[in-house]
Structure 1
Amino acid sequence: MAVGRVLVVGLDPVRIPGWDPEPVVAAIARGQARFGEHGIDADLCLVVPDEDAEAVIVEALTRQDYACVVVGGGIRKHEPLLEFFEKVVNLVRQHAPGAAIAFNSSPEDTADAALRWLR
């Protein structure tokens, strides 16, 4: 089932200060494993908004040809990151114009978000 490669862009829970990253790290791992269950190749691009995140995202977007880019809820839902979220969406449009853009509701349903656009 070659449906195309997926890039998941999200916040790096290990590098965000002030909270326990382990539950999010575990949820991301479970979410990534679900791609394998569907036979989908998925790459992860985890960033910290204040640390040259845009360059990291552009490098990831141009490394492969992606059928879909999923933008994680940590970027999308946290109101102080609204401008960063807009930048991420526009980077996808600019550097992966053929890719669908999807949004997950949790790290564990990331494959479901991609599958809405890959089928």
Structure 2
Amino acid sequence: MAKKTVLAIGNEPSFVDFNAFPGLTPELVRNFIEAQIEILRALGYDAESCLIDPGETAEAVTVAALKSRHLDCVVIGAGLREPPERLLLFEKIINLVLIHVPHVRICFNTTPADTAEAVQRWVRP
């Protein structure tokens, strides 16, 4: 049986304003993301991340990742939902997911450290 596939979409940490997230740094967030992808793989998922910038390439990078293979689950990172200035980008990403992989389960993490938990709520390996 094929492994369930997961794509985790989030902000490229180097573009995040960490003033809104005390205690986090780009390196720490990147480590959390990589660790969560490894945890998902250890749990039996075929998992990858898609880190986007807040600018003009975000949509193209997201579409390329969504179309790259069959997906069972897409995780939308907490940093795409907060701060409120990111609402338009968040809406664009959600709509791209719905357009390009309408069958997929969508889940949301609350921090870069609980992605595996979010996936397991909706898709079992």
Q: TM-score, normalised by structure 2?
A: 0.87
Verify: 1:109 aligned to 2:88, yes or no.
no
Q: 1:58 aligns with which of 55, 63, 74?
A: 63
Cα offset, 1:3, TM superposition: 5.0
Across the aligned residues of Structure 1 and Structure 2, the Cα RMSD in angstroms comes to: 1.6
Identity %: 42
The CA distance in 2 between the partners of 1:3 and 1:118, in whole Å, is: 11
- 1:25-49 CA-to-partner distances (Å, cap 9, x unmatched) read 1111221121022111111100001
Q: Report how many aligned residue pairs link the two structures.
A: 118
Structure 1 residue aligned with 2:38: 33
* 4+ runs deviating over 4 angstroms: none
Q: Tell whether the 8 Å contact from 1:2 to 1:39 is kept in structure 2 after alignment.
A: no
Structure 2 residue aligned with 1:100: 105
Q: TM-score, normalised by structure 1?
A: 0.91
- 1:7-34 CA-to-partner distances (Å, cap 9, x unmatched) read 00000003x1665411111111221121
Per residue, is there more helix in 1 or in 2? 1
Q: Cα gap change, 1:95/1:27 in structure 2, threshold over 3 Å: closer, same or farther?
A: same
Deviates more, 1:85-94 or 1:105-114: 105-114
